[in-house]
A and B are shown apart, each in its own frame.
Chain A
Amino acid sequence: MAEVRLANVRKGYGEALAVDDLSLSIADGEFVALVGPSGCGKTTTLNMIAGLLEPDGGDILIDGRRVNDLDPKDRDIAMVFQNYALYPNKSVRKNLAFPLQMRGLARAEIARRVDEAARMLDIGHLLERRPRELSGGQQQRVALGRALVREPKVFLMDEPLSNLDAKLRVQMRSELKRFHQDLKATIVYVTHDQLEAMTMADRMAVMQGGKLQQYDTPERVYAHPANAFVASFVGSPAMNLIPVRVTDGGVAGGGVAGGGWALDLPPELLARARQARGGVLLGIRHGAIRLLPSAAPGTVAAEVLTVEPTGDITFLNLRLGDTDLVASVPPEQLIAAGQRLWLTFDMARLHLFDATSERAL
């Protein structure tokens, strides 16, 4: 296994930059997720690491070696594709053997590695089948196997679970995680699903518009988003972002006829809020909102719009002033639409962002 380092990598198409000055390092044996919405540049980055695309600027190093000019086959990497990309006219065994044949390995060695991979991924009984005879999950494992037999330095995975149904996806997620643990492999994993990134990655790199937004462990990205984008992207349902004005005592939000609402902030939060030039975005996750049936000091009033019970937790869509919020309550608590509730926010889990730059304050 090896470490991967990107230094100021740039890739443009015409006027637009798909990847803009990207720098990050992936440690040996680390599982890193590149996550972001469509078009953020994550797949382009992965393809550049693989050698399928040439960067316009910057360096890519694998195991300390600059690989910009190397063909994919010379970079000692293996790739797993979203559509599995299994060779349809070959049996599973031949699919697994193909990269080794291209390498020119001896037949005995090829057979050994294929059987080893098959055993590890539990696809030994499928070796003589064709890909079209396999289920989605089985195909995924074969794709993994094809990468595995190469014994590469780095595994590159391009949204490998996107084609699976929800249930299978959950199952495969844990299998992949086990795969990572067993092999201690360096894995670069591209996904648009922040939940996948959260659950599987050691570190996640959130990208948007070709730029790296934040690169940290999932816990820290979740708890301390660097900007409003990361804040709303990570975590589901998304963090509530409420535009507010800074007042003498705290913040005040807009309101419908009758005035808005106001909230006092503790001193250090207030000091941070004052750093903003213009307005401020208040960020609070649904779990950090407490709901009270009646008014109390430090609460603001909100109206329940809809109630969404999910079994384990019930989500509430609330109207606070002129913004909507999502809050949650345990499933036993029965709330009705139209009900009035009073909210308090957990100040320890309150986030502030500059409304103009969207940076965390």
Chain B
Amino acid sequence: MAGYRIGRRELLAGAATAALLPGALAAQGNKTGVDASTWTPDYINKLAGTADYDTAAECAKVVPLDYKGRLTYWYWGVNQASTEIERKMEADFFAAFAKTYPNIELVKQNLDYNAMLDKLRTASIGKSAPMVARLPILWGSEFAAKGQLMAFGPTDVGYSEDEFWPGALKSVTWKGKRYGVPTNNETMAFIWNAAIFKEAGLDPDKAPASWDDVVAYSKQIKDKTGKNGYGMVARVNAGNTPFRFMPQLWAYGGGALDEAEASPTYTKIMLNSPGAKAALQASYDMYVRDKSVPVSALTNTQTENQDPFIAGQIAMMISHPSEYALMIERARKATGADKQVADNVVANMRYGLIPRGPARRAVVFGGSNAHVFNPNIVEGGMDLQAVKAFVAFMTGPEWSIKLAWNISNPGNVRGFRTKWMRERLDTIRFLDVSTSMLPNGIPFPVLPQSAEIMNIIVPNMLQNTLTRKMTPDQAAENAAKELRALINDL
């Protein structure tokens, strides 16, 4: 019952985003593979709970269950801010692995998100890297480019590549070879406060259909209610900014490089394309012309939008699937008069698709990958069998979905067929909506310079525009120049 074959032809012929639809749907004759409109909340709901998988059995095919070995693993796991269920799932995961492979000694390290990248870089230089690490999707290319990862893909752990999103596979590919296995993928959605919409005279149950609508709605909300419309985020060197601006940039037909194309070359610069300039203009209109977004957008990260949203001061924003649970938490913690306001906001929260633009509907393809480090920089040497056992275990349908419970979606698409998907759909409000954005997901350019492009060049372009240091046109040209210099440096 595992995935089906997607031919190369289909892959290449695929639309801007690539989605694999396993099993039944293919049988229904969808030979061309990608059809974004079929991946609807409805379809997702129908798919859930239609299959069952035996994790131990599948792993045993790769590495025998009595294998004796040792494994070192670094990951970005639960912390103080994590919810109950995330903690439970993480604990269950390690317990289950210990039960399945009792003779593999697992030495794990839970690192803080902000510290992890630097620690790994340092460890790699110092030849004390772990065997396996689970890294956010943007981080892997840097290590791959430097030869610090071992060539390793889904087929090494007994899975077919059809079981993973093409966008996810793009993100573990360097110079034609696979360097990791996707563990989970998520895409953001659009949330809004229906009460504020109603107050401003907008249809409370419909998200703005296009980005031009976002600009218009934002202005109307500000004019009619005095509250800020769109929760813009434009801080430099903060991960949130590109996750919110790139969908806008891609929607208008722009991009950093040609990452939005079906077969990107990552050499064509699109920061100064007409689409990019239009996207910048939209932001300029909201911030400078209409003043309908928070003034603090220039120094805000998404965290600084959450409290205002729950206090009913921001009407709409792009939101990570986990933010719903976060908002509930915040409302729960509110006291006094704030509590009523917060509860009201929660009751009025709506989730919808991210607006489309003239070119497309787009969202950043996020998630994490499991990477195996090059044996010559691993501390204490490599135990490949233990690694395979662990990665097979972690990236199979069961744990792919369980470890992504609150904040993501399974990287292995078979996960969508499990009973746990059913459970999630029943307990996590709006999951079907945020999941349905997956086909529109575009990963950041798979280059080691991606971090610099997304965290510095793009936000700088935005800030130059919004502070009126440069016109949108100038800012775009300036950013393109910087990008060109960066790429040429290669």
Q: Do chains A and B touch in the complex (CB under 8 A)?
A: no
Residue ranges of A at the interface with B (Cβ–Cβ < 8 Å): none
Residue ranges of B at the interface with A (Cβ–Cβ < 8 Å): none
